[in-house]
Amino acid sequence: MHSASRTAYNASTSLPEFRARSRASSLRFFAGAIALAGALGAAACEEKSQQAVGMTPEAMVALSADASLPDSLLAGRAVFETYCLECHGEAATGTEKGPPLVHRVYHPGHHADPAFYLAPLQGVRAHHWGFGDMPPVEGITRDEVGTIVAYVRWLQRKAGVF
């Protein structure tokens, strides 16, 4: 007989029934462990500074206005300021309404460019921060999102995110 926390096997329990109960018990344990790990990870993420990686928000704003911004990204900065600035802040450093996009959470290995396209075009459920769901951005086009993605990726590279 197993400990009280496990499914007991006795003569009145068939082997297939015992295995099914044991498997269900194991699945419940692992599902609980995964949920706990996710909750702890989300809490840790929210507790961490929302500051842009490697630079202060002030330095990022200065970088955004810096003359080193390539001409090819000027349109992206303008579109970002039109649609994203209110929630994501100057130079994507975040506000009380939305997270910083210049953050390791948005590293291309974790949030690839397609994720950046989907968020403004279709909206996205909150999954890293406590700001709530992001609704689709009314009136924005796929081409405009492309210019924003290029601008934000440039800011991320300059800040050392990747």
- pLDDT, tens digit, 9 for 90 and up, residues 23-82: 766 656 555 556 555 555 544 444 444 555 556 777 777 766 666 899 999 999 999 999
Instruction: Please give the model's pTM, rounded to 2 decimal places.
Output: 0.66
Residue of higher predicted confidence among 82 and 6 = 82
Q: What is the share, in percent, of the chain residues with pLDDT greater than 90?
A: 57
Cα 26 to Cα 30: distance, rounded to the nearest angstrom = 6
d(CA 67, CA 88): 22
- Distance between CA 154 and CA 160 in Å, rounded? 10
Is the confidence at residue 118, as pLDDT, over 90?
Answer: yes
Where is pLDDT greater, at 48 or 109? Answer: 109
* Sequence ranges of the domains in the chain: 1-47, 57-159
State yes or no: pLDDT of 146 exceeds 60: yes
**Residue bearing the bigger pLDDT, 138 or 40:** 138
Which has the higher per-residue pLDDT, 77 or 22? 77
Reported CATH class of domain 57-159: mainly alpha
Q: How far apart are CA 93 and CA 113, in angstroms?
A: 18
